[in-house]
Amino acid sequence: MNWTDENHAKAKALWAQGFSPKEICDRLSCAIVTFRRRRQAFPGDFPARGGAGSPISDAEMAVAAKAWAAGESCEAIGARLGRSRNAIAALANKNRALFPARGEKRSKGRGSARLAAVGINAAPADVKAPRHDYDFSAMRLADVPAVPFAEAIVSGGCRFPVGDAAAPDGEDMPCCGAVTLRGQAWCAAHYRVVYQPVRAA
């Protein structure tokens, strides 16, 4: 295909949204080598993303949380961000407020012949991840309206959750939204909640 200005603009927009090179090429029906050449020629339009070992950015966190809420696998999310499946799994485990645990599905396999001979059914049962109903509504600051997590990411507001057990998760999770401390993701009040001083035994 001939690479046009229109295709360049579309590719630039898709790249900014976190799409992988393969996904962009599939949408534009072009060879991946063509896209790589355009990236090399216009690095400002296709800025490098964080490598596998670099800290995840706020923008990447928002993309990952949205993809997780849509049901995408760790492998698919990793492909979007240029990171490994294990990196996304670790990210989800550390940020359960944004990446709620999914029910573990196991197939009802046949028990081994040896166990069946003594009357033991070794077929694994369906296992569901436990649900933790935390209520952070009491942590909401007076005169500070809560904002969705995605909005807190964009505005730089405090990301401390302030919803009750029935509040939505993911990008719509209600957060504090107050002005944060410099270099931190929380306001002064919630920073003291997150980081408790170590007490001498």
Give the model's pLDDT for residue 103.
Answer: 62
Q: What is the mean pLDDT of the chain?
A: 77
Give the model's pLDDT for residue 178.
Answer: 92
Q: How far apart are CA 104 and CA 124, in angstroms?
A: 12
Give the model's pLDDT for residue 168.
Answer: 74
Q: How far apart are CA 86 and CA 105, in angstroms?
A: 19
Q: How far apart are CA 56 and CA 64, in angstroms?
A: 10
Residue 121 has pLDDT above 60, yes or no: no
For the chain, domain boundaries: 5-41, 101-129, 133-201
Give residue 128's pLDDT band: very low, low, confident or very high (50, 70, 90).
Answer: low
Q: How far apart are CA 96 and CA 64, in angstroms?
A: 12
Q: How far apart are CA 176 and CA 194, in angstroms?
A: 13
Each residue's pLDDT tens digit, 20-68: 788 888 888 888 788 888 888 887 888 766 555 567 778 888 888 888 8
Each residue's pLDDT tens digit, 129-170: 555 566 788 888 888 888 888 888 888 899 998 887 677 776
Q: How far apart are CA 116 and CA 113, in angstroms?
A: 5
Give the model's pLDDT for residue 188.
Answer: 92
DSSP 99-111: SPPPPPP---PPP
Each residue's pLDDT tens digit, 94-107: 888 888 887 644 44
* Residue 162, phi then psi, degrees to nearest 5: -130, 25
Q: How far apart are CA 64 and CA 81, in angstroms?
A: 8
Nearest Cα to Cα of residue 157 among 87, 18, 58, 72: 58
128: which 2 tokens? 């569901």
